[in-house]
Amino acid sequence: MLVTLISHKPSSMEIRRRILWVDDEIDMLTAHVRLLEQKGYVVETATNGDDALQLVRDRSYDLVFLDEMMPGKGGLEALSEIKEAEPSLPVIMVTKNEAESLMEEAIGSKITDYLTKPVNPSQILLAVKKIFDSKKIAGAVMSRDYAKELRSIALALMNPLDEREWIDLYVRLTNWDKELDDHPELGLRQTVLDQKRECNVEFAKFVDRRYRDWLADPKRPVALSTDIVERYVIPSLNEKTSVFLFVIDCLRLDQWLVMEELLSETFAFDRHHYFSILPTATPYSRNAIFSGLFPSELEQRFPDIWQAGEDDESSRNRHEAQLLQKLLERKRVAMKSEPKYVKILDAEYGRQFEQNITSYVNNRLTAVVVNFVDMLAHGRSDSPLLKEIAPDEAAYRSLTRSWFQHSSLLGMLRALGRQKNVRIILTTDHGSVRCMRGSKVIGDREASTNLRYKYGRNLKVDERQAVFVKNPADYRLPRSSVTTNYILAKEDYYFVYPTDYHRYLSQYRDSFQHGGISMEEMILPLIMLEPK
């Protein structure tokens, strides 16, 4: 067995990376080996596949350079046996053969990188750094760039922002938040949370100033929930196109971004954003999407629907198919058949619909409501197991990705992506915010039980922590009696009654809730998916 060991004494604080280089002409690569040794790596060599395999079995290595053409056991055969012995060991294939079929076979055998001879020492060093130091280097660059972004956002908050600027700022924050998921070692998570909290303080002030103006202006500068069908769905309807509108209940922008990664091979994305109406809760925001009406208008035009849900707010969303049909009639959209409406509440029904979704392609409009993300948000509040699995927002995004990757929804979208003349619009009704601070609220027994918004009589709360809606008509909200008021939580506050205060304060702290005013709840993605 031919083994050459080239090494230096490591310092007491240094961990030396060990590299195995396998090549039948290893003597011709002395300059390459010396360069790696000068950079602090321990390099061992072998001249054939059998010796290399024995070394891998006997010793521990961090990387293998493997020549593809050697006498006896070739590189691909050696690669297969090395991977069988050490599946996670990175292997870089080095070869004179530029045949595409060889590259594909090597890639299929799970090589880490592929270099074509002749290689120079700097190429080798670059390949090593990509494997050993890429995350460290990327983290250093990210820390530097994020420091610049912190300053940029702080400067932006010193000046009044308009609607589009708030959307842009939130998108930037969300992209950074997601990027930092891959670099927990940087210790920037708390910095991100503090910055989002600071932004939400200013965002709540902005919404408090501007919201009533949006409601009064049909040409408002940004779309609201009531505008979605008219602005995005109806213009897509024509005789040759089948439109699918997917509404994923309680989906945040960051959750969409992790889902988008799994769809990027199938679709191109035309991204839009809109603002949810208040309260950011399903009976209000999702009904507004399907009806095109604000809650007070919905109560006036369809009193039976609204009043039927006074004791159970979820029942107020049982008539979305009817509301959508009425909206299309008001907008004078001629359709030979009524739009189809599907609500997916459990995995079994989702699988059934996935198998049959192509049969809906003959319809001009199909609306699909998916409730899982909302169930996940509320389930985390009640389940210690889910809270353990998703202890923070990074883990919550990861859990969303895991669900979507194995969901019927992904199968539906991919199936539709293979169809001709299909237009897919995907959005949500509201997001959620991670609630970390309790706000003591006083109200009578008839007040609603929601954690981020409440309506009732004689409601009292710290005005620094919530918006008090004295006259519901100003916010286009229903008013069951002349004394009904609303309160809407700001930032990451949640409402707790004085009775048994500390118990409920602890129970709902660090839970994902919705209904109030925050970027996470109000600034929402709307995506046109275009099959590639």
Residue 20, beta-bridge partner list:
44, 64
Cβ atoms of 512 and 380 within 8 Å: the answer is: yes
Longest Cα–Cα distance in the chain: 93
According to DSSP H, which parts of 273-407 are helical?
Answer: 282-291, 295-301, 303-307, 320-330, 347-356, 372-382, 384-389, 393-405
Distance CA 6, CA 12 (A): 19
Number of helical H runs and strand E runs in the chain = 21, 20
CB neighbours of residue 491 within 10 Å: 24
Cα(279)–Cα(282) distance, rounded to whole angstroms?
9
Q: Tokens at residue 481, please?
A: 């009696």
User: Can you tell me the distance from the alpha carbon of 465 to that of 451, in angstroms, rounded to the nearest whole number?
Assistant: 13
Q: How does 339-372 read in b/e, with b if 16+ C-beta sit within 10 Å?
A: bbbbbbeeeeebeebbeebeebeebbbbbbbbbb
Q: Residue 280 and residue 518: Cα distance in Å, rounded?
A: 9
Q: Which two tokens stand for residue 5?
A: 């060991």
- 41 by DSSP, 3-state: which? coil
Reading the block at residue 353, the tokens are 């619909």
* Sign of the dihedral defined by the CA atoms of residues 39, 45, 50, 51, in that order: negative
User: If we measure between CA atoms, which residue out of 399, 400, 392, 398 comes closest to residue 370?
Assistant: 400
Residues 6 or more apart whose Cβ sits within 8 Å of residue 316? 283, 287, 305, 306, 308, 309
Residues 6+ apart with CB under 8 A from 196: 173, 177, 519
Over its length of 532 residues, how does the chain's per-residue pLDDT go in tens digits?
444 444 434 444 456 889 999 998 888 888 899 999 999 999 999 999 899 999 999 999 999 999 888 888 878 888 888 888 888 899 998 887 766 666 666 666 677 888 888 888 888 988 888 888 877 777 777 778 888 888 888 898 999 999 999 999 999 999 988 888 877 777 778 888 889 999 999 999 999 999 999 999 989 999 999 999 999 999 999 878 899 999 999 999 999 999 999 999 899 999 999 999 999 999 999 999 999 999 999 989 988 776 644 444 556 778 899 999 999 999 999 888 889 999 999 999 999 999 999 999 999 999 999 999 998 888 888 888 888 998 999 999 999 999 999 999 999 999 999 998 999 999 999 999 999 999 999 988 778 889 999 998 889 999 999 999 999 999 999 877 666 899 999 999 999 999 889 999 999 999 999 999 999 999 999 999 988 8
| DSSP structure class, residue 517 | B
List CB contacts of 313: < 8 A, sequence separation 6 or more: 281, 282, 283, 448
Torsion angle, alpha carbons of 389, 390, 392, 396, to 10: 150
Cβ pair 77, 109 in contact under 8 A: no
Q: Which two tokens stand for residue 224?
A: 């609201």
Q: Give how far the C-alpha of residue 353 lies from the chain's centroid of Cα atoms, to the nearest Å.
A: 24
The helix (H) or strand (E) run that includes residue 231 is none
Q: Which of 112, 161, 128 is nearest to 41 (CA)?
A: 128
What domains sit in the chain, N to C, each tagged with a CATH number?
4-132 (3.40.50.2300), 135-207 (no CATH), 223-432+521-531 (3.40.720.10), 437-509 (no CATH)
